[in-house]
Amino acid sequence: MPEPITYADDPSSIIAHAVDLAGQSRRIALVTSVGIEGGAARALGALAVVDETGAMTGYLSNGCIDRDIQLHALEALHSGTKKLLRYGDGSQFADLTLPCGGSLSVLIDPTRDQTELIALHQALQARKAGTLRFQLPQADGHAPDAIVFEYKPKVRLVLAGRGAIFRAMAQIGHATRFEVFGLSPEVEDLAAITGLTTSPPVHLTTPQHPVDLPELDAHAAFLTLFHDHEWEPALLQAALASDAHYIGSLGSTRTHMVRKETLAGLGVAQQDTDRLHGPIGLVPSLRDAPLIAVSALAEIVASLPQRVRRISPAI
């Protein structure tokens, strides 16, 4: 029987694992979804890696065909030959169905150039997008066009706040496998989220002190989660000066209007204050911290661009 499957989603983690295995001189097969018709559990360009023991990290379906893919990947490692498999409509595997309908084409490549994997890993580590090129096997003597996917770094969730909502947001962000960073004036809150954050949480000591937020880039979201809003101006000024994809603040509609007026009085341009979301969340007027956190995170997710993007034609 093959080894268990590790259900990793994020391309950064899967590529990092592939590079680590290659660094140990372990043979690997890179598995990629290269064609989707109809419904699918995973996006086009989704990745998995299978090593010579059969251990698989990543997945291409919601469990209905991943075991079969794992076995084919082991065979490809033994033969040293690429495989292009089709599941669902038009597949040779009549006993394997896709409950979501449609079809899925999967490329298994045991001949992957490690240089390209390392280059993508380095780009993602540097918080930049990177690409992988996939050349499909020849069919009828003709080599198909290569497929190129662009992969983006992990989403960062930078939280500044205190209390139950701050803690709940850190917990749910961590469970979503975002990179979580935290800032708070409360030592107890910082202690509560330790272990959930990518780096040690930062203790805020005074509302008036200028704030540096180097974690904020084009792949980051920033939230202020205070009921005492005097902590917000310096934090929001720093966030609005960054390339953060999403910036939002907890509070009512009236509070948000006052917040924007305060920022304008500090010289923040309207085009910048217009970037600020508030009240945060897809569901209005919630009162429970975990539900507010889920609602806010859903709004952030809805605003994110695709993490994997095809930049050349697929089959």
Q: Per residue in 195-221, pLDDT tens?
A: 999 999 999 999 988 888 999 999 999
- Contact assessment for residue 70 and residue 2, using Cβ atoms and an 8 Å cutoff: yes
* Of the candidates 172, 154, 171, the residue with the CA atom closest to the CA atom of residue 245: 154
Full set of structural domains in the chain with CATH: 5-151 (no CATH), 156-303 (3.40.50.720)
Q: Per residue in 229-288, pLDDT tens?
A: 999 999 999 999 999 999 999 999 999 999 999 999 999 999 999 999 999 999 988 999
Q: How far apart are the C-alpha atoms of 292 and 249, rounded to whole Å?
A: 12
Average pLDDT for residues 82-107, to the nearest whole number? 72
How far are the Cα atoms of 13, 128, 154, 240, 299 from residue 125, in angstroms, in the given order?
10, 7, 9, 24, 26
**300: which 2 tokens?**
């952030």
- Contact assessment for residue 7 and residue 59, using Cβ atoms and an 8 Å cutoff: yes
